[in-house]
Every structure is written in C-alpha cells, then in structure tokens.
Amino acid sequence: MDTKINEQFLPLLLGSDINVYGMARSFHEAYGTISEAHGAGQLAPTKYSKIVNVHTHAGFSESEGFMRVMRELMEQYKDDPRKIILVPCGDGYTELITHNKKELSQRFICPTVDAKTQETLEDKAAFYQTCEKYGIPYPDTLIITKEMVEKASSIKLPFDFPVALKPSDSVEYLDVDFEGRKKAFILYTQEEVDDILAKVYQAGYTSEMICQNFIPGDDSRMRVLNAYVDQNHRVRMMYLGHPLLEDPTPEAVGNYVAIMPDYNEKVFNQMKEFLEKIDYVGFANFDMKYDERDGEYKLFEINLRQGRSSFCVTLGGYNLAKYLVEDYVLETPFTETTYAKGDKLWIGVPEKILKEYIADGPDKDQAMQYLTEKKYGNTLYYKEDMNLKRYLLVKRIFYLYHDRYKKYFRKK
C-alpha cells in the first residue's frame, strides 16, 4: 500500500452498487484511499462502509440533475491540488460523462471514450456493424425495429430456435417495465418471440431489439475479457475470465457469480488490435461465448467501463485502480501490454450454490480445487472494512441467493 501517492488524487465513483464497492476496495488496497461516490440512491453493497463515502442526489441519473451536481463538485474542488478521477460504474453514468466530457474535463480526469464512440459501441446494433468492419466474430443476428413489429403479426427469423432476445439500447431499457421483464431472454418458440416483442414496445421501448442464434452450452462456455486502455490508446492490461455460473434472477440475467482465471493469446491479440484501431480509452469489459460449432469465441457486447464482477481482476493480482493512477496521476510511460495470468477464483454467491449449480465437468472440478485450496475471494468480504452492521448485511446479501436459485435456475 503506497499511501504517499494517495495525497495526489481523489476517486469520484459514480453509483453505489457492487461495481462501486469493487473500485473503492481496489483504491483502498493499493493506496489506502477513501473514495467518494455519488449516485441517485444508496444501494446495499456500499452501506456501512468506511472506505467509500456515498452521497445521494435526486435526479442524478438524468442529464440535468447530473450536471447540476457535477458543476457543484467542480466548484467544490476548484482549488484542490489533487487530481480528481471520475470513474463511472454503470452504463447510464458512462453515457452522462461521455456526453458532457468537454465541460467535465475542465476539472476532472475522465478516462472514457467520446460521445460518438460511446453511441457506436453502446448501441448493440451499431456495435455489431463495427464488429463486422473489423472482423470480430459475433452470433448470427437479426435487428428488429418497432416498425417491423407494428407492421407484422409475427417476425420471421432466419435461424432455428432457441434464440436470444435483448434490447439494443440497454440504457433506454432500464426505464422500461412490463410483466415478465428480463435483461435478456432465451426463447424456444415463435409465439414467445412475438409475445415479448409486443410487450417490450407496448411498454414504451423505442430502439431496436437484437435477436440472435443461441450458442449452445451452459454458462461455462462464457468468457469475460477486462482491458485497460490508456489515454494514448495503448492497451496496458487484458484479463480473461472464465465464468462458470450466472445469476438466474430475471432482472440480473447475465450477471456472473463465479469466474475463474483463463488465458487465450488469440483472444488477447484480436481484442487488443480492435481496441487500438478504434482509439479506445479507459476500461473495457467484453462478454463472449465459445461456439463449438466453428471453434470461435463470439462477441455479445462491450461495456464501456469495468464490469460489476471486474474485481476478479484485482483479486487475481492486477489491481484495477493502479492502472488509472499510473496512467493519469503518475503518468508512467507505456512499455508493453500485460496479458494477465490470474490465480484466484472470484465468487459472488455462497460456496454451497457453486457446488450445487455449476455444471459437472472439468471446469467444476477446477473451481472446487480453488475452493479447497482457499484460492478464492469475493468483492464484498473485505476484512479492512468490516463492522457488525456491514457483516450482517453482506451475509444477508449472500443468503438471499439460495431462494433465487431455487426459484429461477434452469439448465441451458
């Protein structure tokens, strides 16, 4: 822990979820830093913490309310000699920074892409066009518009069932609510597809929906790649994770709850070239799945920030906060890209759930070995930030997963 460097900067984290706590913990582990977080509300993962101070603001998730608070903070810190680093921890906050980056950069360090790049990569329909341009494999895809659904009683699909269905604009979809809503759907019949599409657009969603050929296999076929790209568009670090299990809760589908380290130079080289060609900046988080039919890893999406489970990178020996500080505070010159080789299993649920729900096979055997050898950890259990209230809260967060899996888990 280098506490002297701590005097040179201050992290302003945007949000209050587990992603925020993971970044606050990374800063604290590396430098002893107490982070400041600003969000629209107080979420459980950051409650009763002494390593992050959470400030809540009404309307903070909307542009007007966000910029009102940010201008107040710019005034508050105008004479502060420290470098203030803005770290978005959600898609909405990333979008708000990118669309106001010119003004925010007058006082804050904003390690994000510009608004044009954000719009191209965040919108999944535009993202897949970019993948096509740069030769990045992705699943067979049909882009469905609101107009198509309104004109036809049924949407004809160019591939067989099952299919995956998800919104192209995940930020707009956050405010859309209807019976049976999920972050993403796996559907097995034409009737299911037509029903969900009708509900989505009747609920007020206006952007495209993405329908894709479902890549066979359980959660252990997934991979998640975390990367850090510096202010000069050089990839400094890449960490490949091997998810073994996802959260089955409808509103949390796609959130990983167990990730063990992996290593694949073909994937590293391919995504490094992609990130540098598009002049990327900041953290990037890619979801992909191995398709045994052609031996390719197919890209699903990119998050223009670290992911909610990206603490697996810090846990694996590659502290996320250090990359920001070395780039923007210490201005350490780029030397080479680190292709990380982690050594710990990251978990987000009780061990009992892993033992019961991870699919049997070599991957599960490896995960169980990590548990046996005590080579594992999670984001929320941090001994340097534990008190009775926080301990009981974290225990409850983990306990609730038992009912979620009993109610919602289905084999894929």
DSSP letters of 226-281? Answer: EEEE-TTS-EEEEEEEEEEEE--SGGGTT-EEEEEEE--HHHHHHHHHHHHHTT--
Domains observed in the chain: 5-113 (3.40.50.20), 140-213 (3.30.1490), 219-408 (3.30.470.20)
Q: How far apart are CA 257 and CA 319, in angstroms?
A: 20
pLDDT in tens, 291-325: 999 999 999 999 999 999 999 999 999 999 999 99
- Output DSSP code: residue 325: I
Q: What is the pTM of this model?
A: 0.92
- DSSP label at residue 385: G
pLDDT at 162: 94
In this model, does residue 3 exceed pLDDT 80? no
pLDDT classification of 253: cutoffs 50, 70, 90: confident
Is the CB of residue 239 less than 8 Å from the CB of residue 225? yes
Contact between 299 and 136 under an 8 Å Cβ cutoff? The reply is yes
For the segment 33-90, what is each residue's pLDDT rounded down to a tens digit? 999 999 999 999 999 999 999 999 999 999 999 999 999 999 999 999 999 999 999 9
Query: Strand, helix or coil at 54?
Result: strand
C-alpha 375 chain-centroid distance: 23
| Mean pLDDT of the 240-244 span | 97
Q: How many residues does the chain have?
A: 412
How many whole angstroms separate alpha carbon 325 and alpha carbon 5? 9
Separation between Cα atoms, residue 320 and residue 325, nearest integer Å: 9
- How distant, in Å, are the alpha carbons of 236, 238, 269, 332 from that of 335? 8, 14, 16, 9
Q: How confident is residue 254, by pLDDT bands cut at 50, 70 and 90?
A: confident
Confidence at residue 38, expressed as pLDDT on a 0 to 100 scale = 99
Average pLDDT over residues 192-203: 95
